[in-house]
Amino acid sequence: MRSSVVTDRRPPRDLADILAPVQAGQAQVEAELDRCVADSQLPMLQGVLASVLGGSGKRLRPAIALLIGQAYGVDREEVVLLAAGTEVLHSATLVHDDIVDEADSRRGQPSVHAAWSTKVAVLAGDYLFASAADLVARLNRPKIVRQFADTIHVMSRSEFVFPSFNGDAEATRRQYLEKIGGKTAALIALACDATAVLADAPDDEAEALHDVGWSLGMAFQVTDDVLDIAGVAQETGKPVGGDLRAGLLTLPVVEYLDAAAAPTPVMQRLADGEGLSEAEAAEAIETLRASGAVDAARTVAEGYADRARAALTRLPPDPAFDALADLVTYATDRHT
């Protein structure tokens, strides 16, 4: 079992510092992603893929796989293929998500459907799904292929969950948690589950790794939704209030509706599933920031982070797992 030191909240560290132990592996993942772009051959497709797979993302899923692989001494080449596969799959979902959400930007740059067309974005997303399948198939581990397929099913089903408010905030909260569990946590858990297969980890440790990934993913997404209200656009890389303009009921909004005796007219419109104008979103942001809703949502994120830390105590002592503990703290303390 691990030392009890990781049961406590570790001081925040810079992401680059946290991931320094797997820097060499990260460089290999980037090379694999570059090959994915080059192998597509067609200039337009290469341009689209380069915009999607460029190095502006955090690369959390590959980093998690690399850290777990390092802790178990898994062959680097295998972990790199798996890590690249998780990133390509993640990128495929983002391309399609931006179409569904009608999001015109991603990480401060135009989204694929905005920069090219919806048709190009759909086809590029399909190509990326196939590329992710190719990467994991090269591992010759049928169980991992099944894990990827199951995760894609879970993520796709989550897109059919539409949190709505009919006066029962608890029901809306459950819908919200179900959606982000399928949309974000499932993919981060996949990085842990698949690497556990590569490592031939004992069942109890594989279960602990799954719990780490799932809880970390939940903490990360709740924090993302908090930053959409409490963040700064120059830091997050996307306009603040995007979810409000899209009429999405994220956790800070649910917490507000749960506590408010009488929602403001703008917040009532949001509760009714209506998207907000720029001015209305700005008003809603001020309302949410002035209420206790943001802090309540942050508390939920911290609760998931604590679950991830507790799961880490079920794993053998290793510096790579200490880095994972730091990644958990980063998930809730970040500003981007």
Q: What is the pLDDT along the chain (336 residues), one digit of tens a residue?
A: 454 434 566 677 889 999 999 999 999 999 999 999 999 999 999 999 999 998 667 899 999 999 999 999 999 999 999 999 999 999 999 998 888 877 776 766 778 888 789 898 899 999 999 999 999 999 999 999 999 999 999 999 999 999 999 999 999 999 999 999 999 999 999 999 999 999 999 999 999 999 999 999 999 999 999 999 997 655 555 678 989 999 999 999 999 999 998 999 999 999 999 999 999 999 999 999 999 999 999 999 999 999 999 999 999 999 999 999 999 999 999 877
- Amino acid identity of 197? V
Judged by DSSP in three states, 303 sits in: helix
- For the chain, count helices (H), then strands (E): 18, 2
Q: Measured between alpha carbons, how far is residue 72 from residues 89, 105, 190, 209, 300 in Å?
A: 24, 38, 17, 12, 31
Query: Using only C-alpha atoms, what is the Rg of the chain?
Result: 20
Please tell me the CATH code under which domain 4-330 is placed: 1.10.600.10
